[in-house]
Structure 1
C-alpha cells in the first residue's frame, strides 16, 4: 500500500520524487541554519562564494538526476529554467541591498533575515506556481498571455530605465509604522521585543526594523515572481520542473547575496542581457507556432539563454574592469 502511494502520480510526477526533493531542501535548510550559521556573524565574500558554488553544484546535480530519471527533455527544461531563475534571483539582490541599507540591518544579522525569507519564498512560490499550473491546464491560451507579458517586460527593461522608489516612501513601510508598534533601534537578531508602551506604560509587543526588512523582502519576492513564474511556464508547464528549478535557483541566493552585494557594480549590463532573455523566451512560443514546429527544442532554448547571459556577464566585467577608461565604465 505504501509503495503504491510512493509511486502514485502527483501532478504528473511520481510522489517519491516530490518527497525526495522536499527532503533534500529541508535537509539543506537545517544544515545551513543548524550547522553553518548557528551563531549570528558576518559572512565574508570568500565564504559566500564557496557556499554559492555548493548550492549551484547541488542545483545542477539535481538537474542531472532529473535528466536520468525523467529523460533528456525534462532535464534540459530544468537546466534552462534554473539558469533563467538564477539570473532573475540575482537581479533581486539590488532590491535586497536597498532594503538592508534603509533599515540599517547589521551584516551579522542579514543571514537570519534571508533564511526566514527563503522559507516564505518556498511557500509563496508553491502557491503562485500551483495557480499558474491550474490556469495553464484549464485555459491553454493563458500561456500566450504569459509569453506576451514576458516580451513586454523585456522590451520595457531594455528601453526604459527603471527609477527605484526609495524604500522609505513605500506605502507598506508607512502602513507598518502607522499600524504596528515599531522600535527605532535594532534588538540583536530579534524580530519582536516586549517593552512598555509609551502611552499606556503597559508591556506591549513591538516589531523591530529586522521584522520590517523581512516583510519588505517577502513582498519584493512576490513582485519578482510576477516575471519569474511566467518565464518558467514559457519554458515548460511541468509543475515538478517549474517548482524544483525555481527553488534550487533561489536557495543559493541567500549565500550569493553577500558576494554580489560587494560587487554589484561589476554586473551593470546583466539586466540588459536578462531583458533579451525574457524577450527570447516569450517570443519563441509565437515563433514556434508561426513555423508550425510545435515548440523550440529544449537544447536550443538552453543554448541561446546561456549564451545571452554569458555575453552579458562577460561584457559587464570587461566594461567595469580595473583601469578601464572613464568613458568605458558602466553608468
Structure 2
C-alpha cells in the first residue's frame, strides 16, 4: 500500500465538495465570470455569435486583416461540459475506491457513469423542482464517503462493511427524495 495516502487526499476532496454543496446549495453559478471561460477567451479568438453547429470558423481578423481561425461559443460550451465531466470523474474515483479496490470495477463503473451522466442530467432536469432536498442528501453522501475513508482505518479493522455503507447511502438518498416529495406535494397538485 505504497500509495494509500492518496485515498486520504481523495477523502479531503470529497469532504470539501460535500461541505461546499451544503453551503452553496441554492447558489446559481455565474458562467460569464467562470475562470475557465475567461482563460479560454483570453487565449483563443472567439466569435461573438454562434455559427450553426460549427465549433470553429474562418473569419477576417480585424487587427491584421488576414483570414484566421476563430472558435465559436459552441466550442467553449463543449469544453466547459467536458471539464464538468472531468470534475465529476475526480469525485467519483475516490467514492468507488472507498467501496472496492478492484481496478476492473473502478474503471467500468466510472466509464458507465460518464456515459450516462448527460442522459441522467436531462432526465433529472425536468424533475428538479420536485427533488429540491436531494441536493442536501447528495452533499451528505459525499461527506459520509469522505469520512468513511478516514474512519475506516480507525474503526471496523480498516474497512467499513458494505452493508453499513449501502444502508447509510440509501437512507440518505431515500430521505432526500421522500422529504422533497412531501414538501412539494401541494405545489405539484396546484399546477
Q: Which TM-score bucket, shorter chain as reference? A: 0.7 to 0.9
- Trace 1:52-63 onto structure 2 (pairs within 5 A): none
Separation of aligned partners in 1, 2:106 and 2:185: 36
Separation of aligned partners in 1, 2:178 and 2:129: 13
RMSD of the TM alignment (CA)? Answer: 2.7
* Pair 149,201 (structure 1): closer, same or farther in 2 beyond 3 Å: closer
Deviates more, 1:270-279 or 1:209-218: 270-279
The equivalent of 2:161 in structure 1 is: 297
Q: 1:231 aligns with which of 95, 99, 118?
A: 95
Question: Where does structure 2 lack aligned partners over 5 or more consecutive residues?
Answer: none
Kept in 1, the 8 Å contact 2:89–2:110? The answer is: no
Kept in 1, the 8 Å contact 2:45–2:69? The answer is: yes
Separation of aligned partners in 2, 1:153 and 1:302: 20
The equivalent of 1:177 in structure 2 is: 41
Question: Where does structure 1 lack aligned partners over 5 or more consecutive residues?
Answer: 1-136, 326-331
Separation of aligned partners in 2, 1:210 and 1:295: 45
Separation of aligned partners in 1, 2:146 and 2:37: 34
Deviates more, 1:162-171 or 1:304-313: 162-171
Q: Does structure 1 residue 188 correspond to structure 2 residue 52?
A: yes
Q: 1:312 aligns with which of 165, 176, 179?
A: 176
Count of matched residue pairs: 189
TM-score by length of 2: 0.81
Kept in 1, the 8 Å contact 2:85–2:114? The answer is: no
* Pair 145,184 (structure 1): closer, same or farther in 2 beyond 3 Å: closer
TM-score by length of 1: 0.50
